[in-house]
Amino acid sequence: MWLYVITILIGYWTLKWFLGRLKVDNYGEKYVLVTGCDSGFGNLLAKRLDSLGFHVIAACLKQDSADDLTKASSKHLRTLQLDVTSDDDIKTALTKVKTILPPTKGLWAVVNNAGVGGGFGTVECLNRKDYTDILDVNLFGVIDVTKMFLPLVRKERGRIVNMASVSGRLSVTFTPYCIAKYGVEAFSDSLRREVYHQGIQVSILEPGCFKTNILNPTMVKDCYHRTYQQGDAACQQYYGEDFIEDCINNLIRFASSPGDINMVIDAYEHAIVARYPKYRYIVGNDANYLHRFLWTVPEWMSDFILCYNAPRPAGIK
Q: What is the dihedral of CA 133, 139, 143, 149, to 10 degrees?
A: 80
The model carries a pTM of: 0.92
Q: How many CB atoms lie within 10 A of CB 110?
A: 27
pLDDT at residue number 297:
94
The torsion angles phi and psi of 55, rounded to 5 degrees, stand at -85, 105
Alpha helices by DSSP H, the chain:
2-20, 40-52, 63-71, 87-100, 128-138, 140-156, 175-194, 217-230, 233-254, 262-273, 285, 292-294, 299-307
pLDDT at residue number 257:
67
pLDDT at residue number 179:
96
Amino acid at 157: R
CA pair distance 261, 284, nearest whole angstrom: 9
Q: How many CB atoms lie within 10 A of CB 139?
A: 22
Which positions ≥6 away from 53 have C-beta within 8 Å?
27, 28, 76
pLDDT at residue number 217:
81
Given the DSSP bridges, would you call strands 109-112 and 78-81 parallel, antiparallel or unpaired?
A: unpaired
- The highest-level CATH class for domain 26-213+260-305 is alpha beta
pLDDT along the chain (317 residues), means of 10: 75 79 90 96 96 97 95 94 97 97 96 91 92 96 98 98 94 90 98 97 94 80 91 92 90 76 96 96 92 93 92 86
Catalytic residue list: 177
pLDDT at residue number 253:
81
At 193-216, the pLDDT tens digits run 999 999 999 999 999 888 777 778
Region for 199 from its dihedrals, namely left if φ exceeds 0, alpha if ψ lies in -120 to 50, beta otherwise? left
